[in-house]
Amino acid sequence: ASLFKAVPQAPADAIFSILAKYNVDKYYNKTNLTVGAYRDDNGKPWVLPSVKKATEILISNPEANHEYLPMGGLQTFVTAAVKLLLGEDSIAIKEGRAVGVQALSGTGALRLGAEFLKKFYKRTVYISDPTWANHRSIMTDAGLQIASYPYWNAQEKCLDFEGIINTMKEAPNGSIFLLHACAHNPTGVDPNPAQWMKIAEVMKEKDHFPFFDCAYQGFASGDLDKDAYAVRLFVDMGFELICSQSFAKNLGLYGQRTGCITLVTSKKEYSLRCQTQLAKISRAIVSNAPRFGAEIANIVLNTPELTEEWYDNLKTMSSRIIEMRKQLHQYLVELKTPGSWDHIVDQIGMFSYTGLNVKQCRALMSKFHIYLTENGRISMAGLNSKNVKAFAEAIDYVVR
Ligand code: PMP
């Protein structure tokens, strides 16, 4: 008999299992609103022009090689990433209290953060309900206890602000709260600046530790500073914190696994010591962070003309998505589809939490070949000028 006879089948992934169904659907006009990856108006993946140029510079450099990166990753990239997150004038950077280590995209950065906390600050991590499903797995696989805080008011289709605050007040002092820096996945709903301020005040009173996940900086609003508002507010308020950063969406480097983990403490010497620990953890997991994506990001972030062009590329992506929200909303209003649909335009980022129930989602898939996760989340990037009207009509059909 095999040692592995008793190993059970892993449960299907909520997103990738639906994508698999989409992939085998032979219908000519099927629609994929599952995975969060940007698509252009023709439904095609988009290589950002700034990234394309950076790649050409990289591969035509006769000095380029495939050597290992240092343990903490490509330093010029990491420095630029930390600066991008915290802002040029960040007091934490000036005081040498902000350090970074390159990571395997956002997921790898979250894992490094979780492993670090398990070693040095083993407290319960509160994750939002709902959240990106992988948060749960990353935190628990790293050996941390998790609990949740309510996030979505299903009745009003908005932020459950009271629920967040009450949970923060009730949680044991010094708990860890995993916060989405912007463009909350899956709801597309973020606290407004006044609500962020209140959250920060309560967390301060309770000595809670913020663990930010920043997967959509610049991609959400088109403005890198605006999307980093919450993280910078916490730094300005004197918090120590960790923040994972992904360059999957904002540079379109999904498969290159380009990311960074930033750590801010109250003293330069603490930060420098913590950085060596993060690098040591990374060494045991991946040994060396991947080079290619980091080199590309490094060129974009450290070449002024390409950085400028990248800002434009961010505007192209974010404004196309915002435009799709407007069109979807407008069609639903014109069709007089039962219910209020203002949340579609109020939400931000890659996803919209439509409020459609499981039965309605299944009907969209079986009757209309429109694929989405059964919690009613849609990837806005899957909509375009050719399919948005048909999608609105399909919603209208299934909710009546
Ligand atoms: N956090 C959130 C909230 C996300 O939505 C994602 C991507 N779906 C990630 C982290 C990490 O993505 P990646 O590992 O591809 O950078």
**Distance of CA 246 from the midpoint of ligand 1 (Å):** 7
Q: How far apart are CA 236 and CA 321, in angstroms?
A: 31
**pLDDT (0 to 100) of residue 224:** 98
Q: How far apart are CA 291 and CA 74, in angstroms?
A: 8
Q: How far apart are CA 130 and CA 151, in angstroms?
A: 7
> Ligand 1: which of 102, 134, 179 to mutate, judged by most atoms within 8 Å of the beta carbon?
134
Ligand 1 atom, smallest distance to 35 CA: 8
- pLDDT at 396 exceeding the cut of 90: yes
What mean pLDDT do residues 345-349 have? 95
**Distance of CA 365 from the midpoint of ligand 1 (Å):** 25
Three-state secondary structure of the chain? CCCCCCCCCCCCCCCHHHHHHHHHCCCCCCEECCCCCCCCCCCCCCCCHHHHHHHHHHHCCCCCCCCCCCCCCCHHHHHHHHHHHHCCCCHHHHCCCEEEEEEEHHHHHHHHHHHHHHHHCCCCEEEEECCCHHHHHHHHHCCCCEEEEECEECCCCEECHHHHHHHHHHCCCCCEEEEECCCCCCCCCCCCHHHHHHHHHHHHHCCCEEEEEECCCCCCCCCHHHHCHHHHHHHHCCCCEEEEEECCCCCCCHHHCEEEEEEECCCHHHHHHHHHHHHHHHHHHCCCCCHHHHHHHHHHHHCHHHHHHHHHHHHHHHHHHHHHHHHHHHHHHHCCCCCCCHHHHHCCCCEEECCCCHHHHHHHHHHHCEECCCCCEEEHHHCCCCCHHHHHHHHHHHHC
Q: How far apart are CA 379 and CA 34, in angstroms?
A: 6
Per the structure block, which two tokens stand in for 209?
């530790």
What mean pLDDT do residues 54-66 have? 95
Q: Which of 47-56, 63-72, 252-261 has the lowest mean pLDDT?
A: 63-72
For 82-104, the pLDDT digits (tens) are 999 999 999 999 999 999 999 99
What mean pLDDT do residues 5-32 have? 93
Per the structure block, which two tokens stand in for 399?
């909710």
Ligand 1 atom, smallest distance to 105 CA: 16
Minimal-distance CA residue to ligand 1 atom 7: 215
For 251-277, the pLDDT digits (tens) are 999 999 999 999 999 999 999 999 999
Q: Which residues line ligand 1 (CB under 6 A)?
A: 36, 105-107, 132, 180, 185, 213, 215, 246, 248, 254, 259
> Ligand 1: which of 104, 107, 352 to mutate, judged by most atoms within 8 Å of the beta carbon?
107
What mean pLDDT do residues 358-370 have? 97
Q: Which residues are catalytic?
A: 132, 213, 249
Q: How far apart are CA 240 and CA 297, in angstroms?
A: 27
Minimal-distance CA residue to ligand 1 atom 2: 215
Q: How far apart are CA 332 and CA 394, in angstroms?
A: 10
Q: How far apart are CA 281 and CA 275, in angstroms?
A: 10
- Residue 17 dihedral angles phi and psi, to the nearest 5°: -70, -35
What mean pLDDT do residues 365-373 have? 96
Which pLDDT band, with edges at 50, 70 and 90, does 35 fall under?
A: confident
pTM of the model: 0.96
**pLDDT (0 to 100) of residue 14:** 84
**Distance of CA 353 from the midpoint of ligand 1 (Å):** 17
**Distance of CA 76 from the midpoint of ligand 1 (Å):** 23
Furthest-apart CA atoms within the chain: distance in Å: 64
For 189-223, the pLDDT digits (tens) are 999 999 999 999 999 999 999 999 999 999 999 99
Closest among 95, 51, 31 to 299, alpha carbons compared: 51
